[in-house]
Amino acid sequence: MSNENKPVVVVVGSLHYDIMVDAPDRPRKGETVAGYAWRPKFGGKGGNQAVAAAKAGAEVRMAGAVGDDDFGTYLLRALEAGGVDASWVERLDGVGSGMSVAISDNGGDYGAVIVSGANLQSSLASLADESLWRDVSVLILQNEMPEAINILAATVAHKAGATVCFNAAPYREMSDDFLSLIDVLIVNAIEAEQLCGVQVSDLASAAAAAEALSQRFSAVVVTAGGDGVVGFRRSAPLINLPALPVKLVSTHGAGDVFVGALATAIAAMQPFAGCLAAANRAAAIHVSTKSV
């Protein structure tokens, strides 16, 4: 544990400068929609999950990469403001930082396009730094970094005695070598279907997907949007939690908040049901709060 007696979480992942657009609807192919407003926002699944874990009470260390541009400066400052130690984030000369454009509609849903930039350019030599892994309990990974980086990070994390939590977002084909390193798999309805072929439309089908995925992973969490979340661990009863009733403002970033809060609770060695409840609660607060 750290000097502050906080659980230590390491995040190896993406950092994006997000441009958020508020509009009545998302455009169809060939359509132009007049929006209401736009604003810059700190993002990237890795960065969002790191800040969420820090907010949930963890000591968080971030390893990733940004470019030598204004976006990179913004991202590093935002990590610091969010309580994340960015000492292991590399700044790459002559490379643009990752960025995205996300459109949030009146219904609270969104769509986004990402340009990965520096996230795909670094070898992340910082993963060999022993200080990154000191007292670590949990490693968080996602699919916005190259698989080779994820394999290296998971391998080092296991040697350090950490639990590897993997958020398979966005979905892509993954090697058996990587999948064998995952301790806790976290997926939404779409990702669950892509991984196991079970279509998720409610909590019952989410449970079926979790049970199917548990044949390969020792712990599985399937989020089903407004329906709730299901968690399944081998040799333990299935956990089924309905979504908390809140007024929806925006779903943007809710999955990342869920992952960060879940990982922090796991790092704090809470019971699995308590970990799911904490993450469910954090996501509910997020989707009912106007982001800035």
What tokens does 115 get?
């340009």
Q: What is the DSSP string of 105-146?
A: -TTS-EEEEEE-GGGGT---GGGG-GGGGTTEEEEEEESSS-
Tell me the C-alpha to C-alpha distance, in Å, between residue 52 and each of 47, 60, 257, 286: 9, 10, 5, 10
Is 256 noted as a catalytic residue in this protein? yes
Ramachandran bin of 83, using left for φ above 0, alpha for ψ from -120 to 50, beta for the remaining angles? left
**Are 73 and 91 within 8 A, CB to CB?**
no
**Are 210 and 221 within 8 A, CB to CB?**
yes
Distance CA 259, CA 264 (A): 9
Q: Which of 40, 16, 55 is nearest to 259 (CA)?
A: 55
Which residue type occupies 272? F
In which residue are the tokens 């049970």 written? 211
**Are 158 and 168 within 8 A, CB to CB?**
no
Catalytic residue from among 69, 85, 105, 256: 256
Helices marked H in the chain — which ranges? 45-55, 70-81, 147-159, 176-179, 189-196, 203-213, 254-267, 272-287
- Residues recognised as catalytic: 256
